[in-house]
Amino acid sequence: MTRHASGRPTPALAALVLTLTAVVTSVAAEPPPPPPPGTMAAALAASRPEEWRRLDPTRTVYMDLDAGRVIVELAPTFAPKLYGNLRTLVSAGYFDGLSINRVQDNFVVQWGDADGKRAVPIAKTSPPEFERSWSADLAFTALPDGDVFAPQAGFVEGFPVAGDRAAGRIWMAHCYGALGVGRDNAADSGTGIELYAVIGHAPRQLDRNITVAGRVVQGMELLAALPRGSQAMGFYATAPERVTIRRVRFADAVPTAERTGLEALRTDSASFAAVVESRRNRRDGWYLKPAGRIDLCSVPLPVRRTAIASP
């Protein structure tokens, strides 16, 4: 690693500048020096354009806060009914002016209608989408190092997933940045009017107990840095503490000039496999003993800025 400007040692890890939800800018003023072989930077530099996919604006949600924009990619392959609910809710402006009401350290940030007064344009129940069948058409990329919680772990369509192939079941995993659908005790009580994002160590015990509808691909730092609530489960004690949600829109409802162009590295690509390998065995100069292994929620899912396609 490079020394910090002050010359003080740091825990370093230059490559970790690209964190789980980091955005890689695609334009540089000067050609940078080539990254060290075997690093994530080298894997990304060697990637081909066709290994990246533009985020589909019909599956991309912008949540605008005073502090900036949080961008979510939804996973209708795993939660199609929730996807439909969110299309209805967002199109109706349901979330606009609501607030983030709960921030529980090392767990979740949660938002919705704190006062429960807003009209809800969807049904009061929704079938649980906690897991789905492991059908042959799913492009599953396996991780090689196993998983404490499930027989299989890997990625489908850019999302971290776990599964039991023998039982024919697969589900979205609660990794950092996962977007979940709050529910009450009844399995069908999560409809999408209350949502949360994971901000701490992966709470995998939630897997198969609640619907994961997508993941935050940009702006996690805006959610994770919010003050923790002082009440039980991290709820804010008073209304003024709540964080206002200015507006929530699907990208396809936003004028092209106002969209945030993003593309994600395909998790079924050779370059993604190289990224995984670069993180299993860190070859950055700072590391003395590469782990040789990686867990599901430590794998970066690279997303970078791109131009906006004309509509």
Region 253-282 residues binding a second copy, contact defined as CB under 8 A: 279, 282
- Report the SS3 class of residue 306: coil
Query: What DSSP assignment string belongs to 49-94?
Result: GGGEEEPPTTSEEEEEETTEEEEEEE-TTT-HHHHHHHHHHHHTTT
Taking the CA atoms of 225, 261, 95 and 247 in sequence, report the sign of the dihedral they define: positive
Q: Does residue 127 interact with a second copy by CB under 8 A?
A: no
Site string for a second copy, 158-187 (x = CB under 8 A): -----------------xxx--x-xxxx-x
Q: Contact with a second copy (CB under 8 A): which of 88, 209, 244, 269?
A: 209
Provide the residue count of the chain.
311
Nearer to a second copy, 51 or 207 (CB): 207
Q: Does residue 23 interact with a second copy by CB under 8 A?
A: no
- Separation of CA 105 from chain center: 18
Which of 76-84, 208-216, 258-266, 301-309 is the region at the interface with a second copy (rule: CB under 8 A)?
208-216
The answer to whether the beta carbons of residues 153 and 187 sit under 8 Å apart is no
Q: Does residue 6 interact with a second copy by CB under 8 A?
A: yes
Among 169, 106, 23, 223, residue whose Cα is nearest residue 161? 169
Q: Contact with a second copy (CB under 8 A): which of 8, 119, 136, 237?
A: 8
Q: Does residue 104 interact with a second copy by CB under 8 A?
A: yes
- For the chain, what is the radius of gyration of the CA atoms? 20
- Separation of CA 45 from chain center: 23
Joined together, the tokens standing for residue 234 give: 């991290």
Q: Contact with a second copy (CB under 8 A): which of 106, 142, 239, 307?
A: 106
Nearer to a second copy, 88 or 308 (CB): 88
Q: Strands, DSSP E only, in 224-306?
A: 243-250, 262-265, 303-305
Q: Smallest gap, in angstroms, from Cβ of residue 167 to a second copy?
A: 12
Q: Contact with a second copy (CB under 8 A): which of 274, 298, 302, 303?
A: 298
Q: Smallest gap, in angstroms, from Cβ of residue 126 to a second copy?
A: 11
Which of 75-83, 103-111, 133-141, 303-311 is the region at the interface with a second copy (rule: CB under 8 A)?
103-111
Region 73-102 residues binding a second copy, contact defined as CB under 8 A: 102
